Structure 1
Amino acid sequence: MNHFEPIDGILHAEEVSLIDLAETVGTPVYVYSTATLERHYRVLAEAVAANGKALGDVLIAFAVKANSNVSVLATLARLGCGADTVSEGEIRRALKAGIPASRIVFSGVGKTDGELAYALDVGVRQINVESPSELDRLIVVAERSAACPDIAIRVNPKVGAGGHAKITTGGEGDKFGIPVDEALALYARAASSHHVRPVGLACHIGSQITDLAPLEAAFVLLRQMTMTLREQGLEVSRLDLGGGLGVPYQGGAMTAAPADYVAMAARVLDGLDVDAVFEPGRLLAANAGILLSRVIQITERAADADGSGRRFLVLDAAMNDLIRPAMYDAFHEVVPVTPRSGEAVSYDIVGPVCETGDTFARDRTMPPVQPGDLVAFTGAGAYGAVMSSEYNTRPLVPEVLVRNADWAVVRPRPSYEDILDREATAGWLVKA
């Protein structure tokens, strides 16, 4: 359970009782374990170190889109982690968390001129260029700023992989990256400019990938492209390998180990003399967090004409708090904080939002629960709070970071007054 374990029959986050947290902070609430974040980073860093010089001077850059909480980023920054960002806002978060600009990569298919100018101003490590038009705009912005940024050309290898079609990013029909032949030509064109400095290639083929084969195919392609560019007399000193390695969301589910993943990359790149970049997101954060929720009620529906009835477990957490099940058909285990004795029960686990899609699971068998009980969604530390919203005017779910027996609210729950005060009434609607 990654530092979420029962103590005296009560589920804890490290040494903190989830019952005590719920009573103090309320529910729903995200809870993150510092120990798990640190352990996951060190596992990956140790795998890199075990492969010697095959991967060069490696940068591990956490994918901020997975969990952008500043305290989470600061926890990783203290270990030497960099940041993979896709917006000016994420760059600002990384900087606030103490990640130096020299360890920040700027990716994304729709960078605005303003965002590019900001990235140049703060001096990010590299900008991953994803289209010819973006390169053209970056050259103009860089000339105006009297800058010459390091760039990598993001390649679309026509190797798509991931846990769902919506998180597959390297397939032929996906919006990300540049086809191989066009990428080679664009690299050469960038090298002729005095306003950008092409230093490498980048690739990211998807998320929640559990098989190393598609990742290896993409890395082999990057190696081949590197050799082709060098034959043309062009410098290629970095390969951004992206992220995407999956995690076990369900007990017993198998995924590739980080050590095997890094060893495969080292084998493919060995002797190429490049510095590798890894951009893990889910791998570091997913199992470092849970979403804590309380049971509102259990609604029984009598059997209909086909003889089937339903038992709805209605929680105070909803799709606006954790959208992965509704958006990606994603699985999260739901476990009682204080398990009751008795036979397991089958529930449809739902939230209070006025959408049929506000359903976390159908026919989920779990220990019996009663109204008022607390339950925890495991594996919720990535793409959870960061994708939450105030749909149905539900306040954004707060976030708590735990370290041993200490804990802190690192994003508070806004009051209804906070929500309403952010909006202004049009002048012509205000009575004199």
Structure 2
Amino acid sequence: MLKCMCFYQNSFIEELSTPCYIVNTDVLAENFRNIRAKADQTGLSLLLAMKGFPLAKAFPFIKSYVDGISASGLFEAKLGSKLGKKVHVHTPAYKKEDAEEIAAHCSHIVLNSPHQQEVFSHVATAKNEFALRLNPEVSIVEEPVYNPCAPYSRFGLTKEMLSAVDGRFFDKISGFHIHALCGSSSKDFNNLISAVLDKFSDYLPSVSWINLGGGQALLEDDFDFADFAENLDILHSKYHLKTYIEPCEYLVMDAGFLLTTVLDVVHNGKDIAILDSSISCHALDVLKNYYQLPVIYPQAGEKGYSYLLAGNSCLSGDVFGEYSFSAPLKPGDKIVFGDMGSYSFAQMNYFNGINYPDICFYSEKNGFQQIKSFDYMNYEALYD
């Protein structure tokens, strides 16, 4: 586990406006450097999954350590192309009106079903490689909401579905894409590769590369790269496949923080410190997944003064959690939360780069009137 490199000891932190996301670029670069070294030892190619960290401003710190980016749609692909490397894109379904731009920005286009090839039939060029997403039907992730292989999944083709595909289709694709992990161990990753070899070995000779997705807990102490070396070697030596992974969370681990300020302290059975932040606005993952962020400043733990740290919205459940400190909190004090690198600002705005809805008025007299619309430039302005 990397040290957070105590930037909060710098007096300048008192001058920052809050709430504020802070990205420690020293930690960011160290994460990428460490994982790049391990990936090189195992012959893995490394893509940054934009869905969790779409901060193009950080590209200069990570560019030398990755082979490209993985995008969840047009907006992420366009922004990710600023890295100047390979752009892989995958999504459950493509809009026909986006096809030309996707083909222009992406080197690798993953189809979720064979008939999606038709979307790109008139816009694809020789620079575009097409892949097919597969469903290995291994439910390694226990929580159904995060399990791409859950029953009735819309993601990819199972072995049975693949057997019904016209064999001529494989002449049009050069790769496979598989994603089935979330915060998973090296043992889980090895089991995934085993499932791929078991279910899809008949199809592997027809392609030149495979993307095994993200979700590998690469920086955990017990993640053993040797666990999956034998199975990975089969993909490399027997099938001669270029093998990608597309992590995010463990590339930015310990590099992201949320700086807030205490606005008031009230008492209702417990002391409650109200912050100028909100989990529903600034830490949505906490609200969705019911976990508690670490407070790294002031140092929290088994201390003498306990507080509920609460957000400043009208949502009753807008509470970061209960924390104890060695001294009382007062208005104006700074609070620094850790574990805010991945999926923090990504979920605050445009998760997966999916566009905001247009806004229309309607009346019987005037019909429909579009009063507000959003486009890629709104998205780019947030992260570049």
Query: Smaller-chain TM-score range?
Result: 0.7 to 0.9
Q: How does 1:164-313 map to 2 (within 5 A)?
A: 164-186=143-165, 188-191=167-170, 197-209=172-184, 211-229=185-203, 235-246=206-217, 256-257=222-223, 259-260=225-226, 263=229, 266-267=232-233, 269-272=235-238, 273-302=240-269, 310-313=270-273
Structure 1 counterpart of 2:34: 43
Instruction: Tell me the matched-pair count.
Output: 355
SS class of match (2:151): coil
2:4–2:27 CA contact under 8 A, matched in 1: no
Equivalent in 8, 11, 15 of residue 11 of structure 1: 8
CA distance in 1, matches of 2:30, 2:300: 31
- Runs of 4+ deviating beyond 6 Å: 422-426
CA distance in 1, matches of 2:93, 2:123: 20
2:187–2:228 CA contact under 8 A, matched in 1: no
CA distance in 2, matches of 1:107, 1:269: 22
1:214, CA displacement in angstroms? 3.1
CA distance in 1, matches of 2:122, 2:192: 33
Alignment CA distance shift 1:159-1:365 (3 Å):
farther
Structure 2 counterpart of 1:360: 320
CA distance in 2, matches of 1:204, 1:315: 38
CA distance in 2, matches of 1:341, 1:41: 30
CA distance in 1, matches of 2:254, 2:231: 24
Structure 1 counterpart of 2:84: 99
2:306–2:324 CA contact under 8 A, matched in 1: yes
1:216, CA displacement in angstroms? 2.0
1:144, CA displacement in angstroms? 4.8
Alignment CA distance shift 1:5-1:41 (3 Å):
closer
1:62, CA displacement in angstroms? 0.3
RMSD: 3.3
Structure 1 counterpart of 2:376: none
1:380, CA displacement in angstroms? 0.6
1:63–1:83 CA contact under 8 A, matched in 2: yes
Alignment CA distance shift 1:214-1:144 (3 Å):
same
Larger displacement relative to structure 2 (265-274 or 283-292): 265-274
Query: Which deviations, in whole Å up to 9, do the C-alpha atoms of 1:157-191 show, x marking residues without a partner?
Result: 22234485433223234332222221344373522
Alignment CA distance shift 1:424-1:150 (3 Å):
closer
Q: How does 1:330-409 map to 2 (within 5 A)?
A: 330-337=291-298, 339=299, 343-361=303-321, 363-371=322-330, 372-389=332-349
CA distance in 2, matches of 1:200, 1:296: 53
Structure 2 counterpart of 1:128: 110
Corresponding letter in the other structure for 1:166: V
Matched, 1:316 2:267: no
TM-score (norm 2): 0.81
Corresponding letter in the other structure for 2:232: A
2:39–2:46 CA contact under 8 A, matched in 1: no
1:247–1:286 CA contact under 8 A, matched in 2: no
1:376, CA displacement in angstroms? 1.3
SS class of match (1:47): helix
CA distance in 1, matches of 2:199, 2:263: 56
CA distance in 1, matches of 2:20, 2:329: 19
Structure 2 portions without partners, runs of 5+: 351-357, 370-384
Alignment CA distance shift 1:161-1:225 (3 Å):
closer
Corresponding letter in the other structure for 1:332: L
1:66–1:386 CA contact under 8 A, matched in 2: yes
Query: Which deviations, in whole Å up to 9, do the C-alpha atoms of 1:104-156 show, x marking residues without a partner?
Result: 1101113212333212123x22112112xxx3243343235566832222112
Corresponding letter in the other structure for 2:196: L
Query: Which deviations, in whole Å up to 9, do the C-alpha atoms of 1:206-225 show, x marking residues without a partner?
Result: 3222x333322221122234
Alignment CA distance shift 1:341-1:290 (3 Å):
closer
Matched, 1:149 2:128: yes
Alignment CA distance shift 1:163-1:36 (3 Å):
farther
SS class of match (2:115): helix
Structure 1 portions without partners, runs of 5+: 249-253, 303-309, 391-421
Query: Which deviations, in whole Å up to 9, do the C-alpha atoms of 1:49-88 show, x marking residues without a partner?
Result: 223xxx4xx4311000111111123422243441000111
TM-score (norm 1): 0.72
Corresponding letter in the other structure for 1:318: S
1:91, CA displacement in angstroms? 1.0
Corresponding letter in the other structure for 2:214: G
CA distance in 1, matches of 2:168, 2:310: 53
Matched, 1:116 2:99: yes
